[in-house]
């Protein structure tokens, strides 16, 4: 917990592994996962799985475990990158070798509250460089800034490392990460619990999901949700091999919500973003997408066109290519009242 308030902006780590075991990382038992999360300083509060992967709601955000991929997303003052040594050791014991890494985060609301190695992006990159094996030779670190004149400056930090010589084209499927601040105060109140409501976190989470319309973003998804006491919300939605996840810090002054999904098709993204914006009505918003090279053209304009009727105007758009990892787009939006 930051002295000024809770840090909503997440750090996100994605590791890919090569190996022949069809179960792979899903063989990790709960004790092994606890060891990884202990290093990060968070715990599991709820879990769900299907034939494709396992999804965990954490005390600070989410964890997704596929046979050959793991994604950890944590907020607050967690030390996410400290999970890497333990993860690589456990994976090696399973006969898996890391073949790709991606780390992303936005600009912290309370940067001075962050512990090592998250005190700066430079320190994070140095820690990554020292923690990853030498076979990940295609490396790049980059900060994608918004317009310097923006009333709420926000940048996107990306580090990528891979041992692959080419991008694995994702056809029309990609990853999207959305960060929202200055949430509508009335809508944000739905993520506060009643005093002494007697509910478990799971029951409170289900009520929040139903009251806010979050369950309608992808009606075919199975939702695992959790409502924190006295406020805050997290959910993971699983749909086949795809997931979506939402995390909310609703307090006035530093309100924040994030939405992430993997597997959403290009033609669906506009409608998905509209549903998300209507739930939170943010004053500022950023949208980052990781796309195979073939899908970059037109995506920024597609997103801007979807958000404009909702009162969010595009303030900046950046595109950066990463070796053997695709392209990352970063757009920022503010309401017209700004």
Q: In what order do the strands lie in the sheet with 326-335?
A: 222-227, 233-239, 242-249, 256-265, 173-181, 284-291, 326-335, 312-322
Write down the catalytic residue from 160, 234, 244, 288.
234
Write down the catalytic residue from 7, 60, 124, 260.
7
Which residue in 149, 150, 148 sits closest to 284, CA to CA? Answer: 150
The verdict on whether 75 is a catalytic residue reads yes
Write down the catalytic residue from 16, 46, 59, 61.
61
Write down the catalytic residue from 247, 255, 260, 288.
247
d(Cα 259, Cα 273) in Å, to the nearest integer?
9
45's CB contacts (< 8 A; 6+ apart) are 57, 58, 59, 201, 226, 234
Could you check whether the bond before residue 195 is cis, i.e. omega within 30 degrees of 0? no
The verdict on whether 61 is a catalytic residue reads yes
Contact 182, 202 (CB under 8 A): no
Give the CA-trace dihedral at 202, 205, 210, 212, to 10 degrees.
Answer: 180
d(Cα 315, Cα 145) in Å, to the nearest integer?
11
d(Cα 75, Cα 73) in Å, to the nearest integer?
7
In b/e form, how buried is each residue of 293-316, taking b as 16+ CB within 10 angstroms?
eebbeebbeebbebbeeeebebbb
Write down the catalytic residue from 14, 42, 60, 75.
75
Could you give the residue numbers annotated as active site?
7, 10, 61, 75, 234, 247
């Amino acid at each position: 917990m930051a002295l000024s308030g809770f840090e909503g902006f997440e750090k996100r780590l994605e590791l890919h592994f090569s190996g022949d075991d069809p179960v792979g990382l899903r063989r990790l038992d709960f004790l092994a996962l606890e060891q990884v999360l202990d290093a990060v300083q968070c715990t599991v509060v709820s879990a769900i799985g299907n034939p494709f992967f396992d999804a965990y709601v954490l005390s600070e955000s989410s964890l997704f475990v596929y046979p050959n991929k793991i994604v950890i997303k944590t907020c607050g003052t967690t030390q996410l990158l400290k999970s890497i040594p333990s993860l690589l050791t456990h994976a090696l014991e399973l006969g898996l070798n890391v073949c790709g890494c991606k780390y992303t985060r936005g600009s912290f609301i309370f940067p001075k509250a962050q512990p090592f190695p998250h005190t700066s992006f430079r320190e994070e990159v140095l820690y990554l460089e020292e923690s990853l094996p030498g076979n990940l030779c295609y490396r790049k670190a980059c900060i994608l800034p918004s317009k310097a004149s923006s009333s709420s400056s926000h940048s996107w930090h990306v580090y990528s490392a891979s041992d692959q010589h080419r991008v694995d084209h994702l056809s029309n499927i990609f990853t999207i990460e959305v960060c929202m601040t200055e949430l509508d105060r009335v809508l944000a109140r739905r993520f506060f619990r009643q005093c002494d409501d007697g509910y478990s976190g799971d029951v409170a989470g289900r009520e929040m999901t139903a009251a806010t319309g979050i369950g309608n973003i992808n009606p075919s998804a199975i939702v695992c949700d959790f409502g924190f006491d006295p406020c805050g919300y997290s959910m993971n939605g699983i749909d086949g091999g795809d997931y979506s996840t939402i995390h909310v810090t609703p307090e006035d002054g530093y309100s924040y919500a994030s939405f992430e999904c993997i597997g959403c098709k290009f033609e669906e993204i506009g409608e998905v973003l509209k549903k998300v914006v209507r739930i939170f009505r943010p004053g500022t918003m950023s949208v980052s997408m990781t796309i195979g090279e073939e899908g970059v053209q037109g995506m920024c304009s597609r997103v801007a066109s979807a958000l404009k009727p909702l009162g969010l105007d595009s303030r900046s758009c950046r595109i950066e290519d990463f070796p053997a990892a695709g392209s990352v787009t970063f757009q920022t939006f503010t309401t017209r009242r700004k």
